[in-house]
Structure 1
Amino acid sequence: MKVQDILSSLKQRKYKPIYLLHGEESHYIDEICGVIENTVLNHAQKGFDQTILYGKDVDFSTIISAAKRYPMMSDYQVILVKEAQGLKWKGEEDVEMLRKYVENPTPTTILVFAYKYSKFDKRTKLYKSIEKAGVAFESAKLYDNKVAPWIVEEFQGQGRRIHPQAAALMAEYLGTDLSKVANEVQKLLLNVGAEREISVQDIEQNIGISKDFNVFELNNALGKRDALKAIQIVDYFAANPKSNPVVLVMGTLYGYFSKVLKYHYLPDKSSAAKELGVNPFFVKDYELAARNFNKLKLFQVMTILKDYDLKFKGLDAGPNTSDGDLLREMIFKILN
């Protein structure tokens, strides 16, 4: 099931007897758990019919015994097993105990396993039994190029708009941790007036990312072969290393130039946005960069990035060479 379908069913109070929420991305697991924890029972009912357990502190016999009880003050009892990845399995005995319960669950119990940061084995009989009796939802980690579209969709879901460049800037700096990204989305929803589109300036004011000196603008400067602007940005990075870690800069540059190289090899440039995994708004930037960097130069750039990645890690770099010095040197070689 998709997360929207699960949340819609919960909103309609259509419950399943068991939920297995697993995967490397914790955001949706927390969101679904939060909805179940906060909406199935009211405050008075929770004291009698809601139980919160933690995987590292509980065994399967305790979970199953609790699940077989009937509610005292409401139509349902809710059992949330948080951090279920910490459960200690005693072998086939525990697997069979849980599988037998899943195949004949207590209809008035809502049993939830929040199995975060890892995947449950989908090949097992237990997993297939859970799929049949309830909900088995995998919260997969988002790829880098999917974060900006996710941000745009989050704002659209709230009836709001964000400029593609602002969404891209958020994605570059916040990474793929959706819980972190979602918190910043909420901050913007609260602090920016609902009547207008969220801009790059709003990102700077509310999230603290400079609109002029960031990896996104460094990509643009390099794509235009604007040496002065590129050096100004690198100087800013050197003066603010905590806000602009080298690992982020290198990863972004590698991703950017990889897309520029891929653009050269696209047989149909009209599908560039889809093939590169970028918003159509940015295709013109890749087109310009491809004119300024031919294939041969791009292969040289990729070699430069690889060499300097090793230098940033301490290989073949001078003993007194700072990260800022290496960045300036690398940018000079890319542009020449």
Structure 2
Amino acid sequence: MNYTLIGSESYLRKRKLNQLKKEHDINDMNLITFDYTKDTMDHILEECNTMPFFSEHKMVVIQNCTFFGASNKDTVDELVHYLEAPNPTTIVVLDYDGKKDARKKVGKDLAKLTKEFRFEQISEEERNRMIREECQKRQITMDQGALREFQIRVGLDLNRLYTELDKLELHGGQITKEVIEALISRPIEDDTFLLSNAIFTHDTKKVFSLIQDFKQNNVEIIALIGLLAAQFRFLVQVQTLKNEGYTNDNIARELSTSPGRIWHTVKNVGQYRKEDLLTILKDLSILDQDIKTGRIDKQQGFEVFLLKHTM
């Protein structure tokens, strides 16, 4: 049996791969991993056709199978041909961190030749259920304030969810909002959202407080400029789609992000003028170029930008 693991939820794909390794009794000696974007198909198929080492089966995992995506035009005929009559001692696992283009022939062919598992990003409801179940298992309790803060800080990232629950389990007992704030850092995207909002509301005190947080987290100014530009571009995209009549769920799908992030953005996006957003984006682009070409000191240039847009 050969498999396809596909979807943006990396934690669940990884967990399924580990289950398959256990089911087929695969050890490290008989596990070979390739990267489709770096390794040649000839090399991959040569390995598929060799016998396992002192074992009944071996597993060949092909990561980054971008041929499933809409923008990649590869047909991978050799892989399809191999899977039509595969080596019975080799288990092939195709792994792709993205959305499958259902229109493509290669995707349809491989769906017939492998057992396909899909792992799309979980919903907020599923995330909340998992938190409740894990807290029960770990014998920890959260009050409502702590639970809400935990949900905000971990988002829909399951890798982060389980990592942070491990921390809370070590703390043990009753978890308060203060414990969450002390043990779990906010995602950098959240701080970027707060910073962009503070710039727009001319909250100078909040802006410079958040800048200090970024410094403490060792975020370079050039990286912060990039994060801010990405956030303001996101605001323009959400505003444009909302004005075109898209629902929140449709916007989330269009921009490949969580409904929760869209909900928080839509709540505030009405107060932003598109012209102001585009002006900030233009100023960030000029600042980025001026810093990279040495025309201005990065610290001084960034402070001038902040003062211009908050005073």
Query: What TM-score results when the alignment is normalised by the length of structure 1?
Result: 0.57
- Partner residue in 1 for 2:303: 328
Structure 2 counterpart of 1:248, one-letter code: L
Question: Is residue 185 from structure 1 mapped to residue 161 from structure 2 by the alignment?
Answer: yes
* 1:239 CA drift (Å): 7.0
Aligned length: 277
- Give the distance between the partners of 2:99 and 2:262, measured in 1 at CA: 35
Query: Secondary structure of the equivalent of 1:214?
Result: helix
CA-based RMSD: 5.1
The structure with more radius of gyration:
1
Q: Is the 8 A contact 1:22 1:138 kept in 2?
A: yes
1:63 alignment partner in structure 2:
48
1:129, distance to aligned residue in structure 2 (A): 4.9
| CA contact 1:237–1:324 (8 Å) conserved in 2 | no
Q: 1:98: which partner in 2?
A: 83
User: Is 2:275 the partner of 1:300?
Assistant: yes
Q: 1:38 aligns with which of 22, 47, 55?
A: 22
Deviations 1:44-73 (A, max 9, x none): xx57xx832344595535524648x9x98x
Which amino acid is 1:60 matched to? L
Superposed, 1:252-291 pairs within 5 Å as 252-256=231-235, 259=238, 265=243, 278-279=259-260, 287=267, 290=270
Counterparts of 1:280 and 1:24, CA distance in 2:
16
Q: Offset at 1:81?
A: 0.5
| Partner residue, 1:19 | 3
Q: CA deviation at 1:261?
A: 7.0
**Equivalence for 2:131:** 155
- The DSSP-based 3-state class of the residue aligned with 1:81 is strand
Is the contact between residue 85 and residue 116 of structure 1 (CA under 8 Å) also seen in structure 2? yes
Gaps of 5+ in 1: 1-16, 172-177
Secondary structure of the 2:32 match is strand
| Residue correspondence of structure 1 range 109-148 to structure 2 within 5 A | 111-116=91-96, 123-124=104-105, 128-137=108-117
SS where residue 314 of structure 1 aligns?
A: helix
Deviations 1:259-302 (A, max 9, x none): 46766x4879xx7688676549965x854664xx36xxx22322
Select which of 205, 210, 227 maps to 1:233.
Answer: 210
Structure 1 residues 260 and 59, CA, compared in 2 at 3 Å: closer, same or farther? closer
Alpha-carbon distance change, 39 to 200 in structure 1, aligned in 2, over 3 angstroms: farther
Question: Hey, what does 2:71 align to over in structure 1?
Answer: none
Q: 1:202 aligns with which of 171, 180, 202?
A: 180
Whole-Å Cα distance in 1 between the matches of residues 217 and 46 of structure 2?
A: 53
**Alpha-carbon distance, 1:19 to partner:** 0.8
Tell me if the contact between 2:5 and 2:95 (Cα under 8 Å) persists in the aligned partners.
Answer: yes
* 1:230-267 alpha-carbon deviations (Å, 9 max, x no partner): 2332355467652773122332344346546766x487
Counterpart of 1:187, as a letter, is T
Calculate the TM-score normalised by the size of structure 2: 0.61
CA distance in 1, matches of 2:32, 2:292: 51
Structure 2 residues without counterparts, runs of 5 or longer? 66-73, 137-141, 253-257
User: Quick one: distance in 1 between partners of 2:277 and 2:4?
Assistant: 43
Distance in 1 separating the partners of 2:300 and 2:279:
15
2:60 and 2:93 in contact (8 A); partners too: yes
Q: Are the structure 2 counterparts of residues 325 and 240 from structure 1 closer, same or farther at C-alpha, using a change threshold of 3 Å?
A: farther
Percent identical residues: 11
Q: Contact conserved, 2:80 with 2:109, CA < 8 A, in 1? A: no
Change (3 A) 1:281 1:300: closer
Cα pair distance change 1:254/1:62, threshold 3 Å: closer
| 1:202 counterpart letter in structure 2 | I
Cα pair 2:200 2:310 within 8 Å, conserved: no
Deviation digits for residues 161-185 of structure 1, max 9, x if unmatched? 77455444445xxxxxx9xx44432
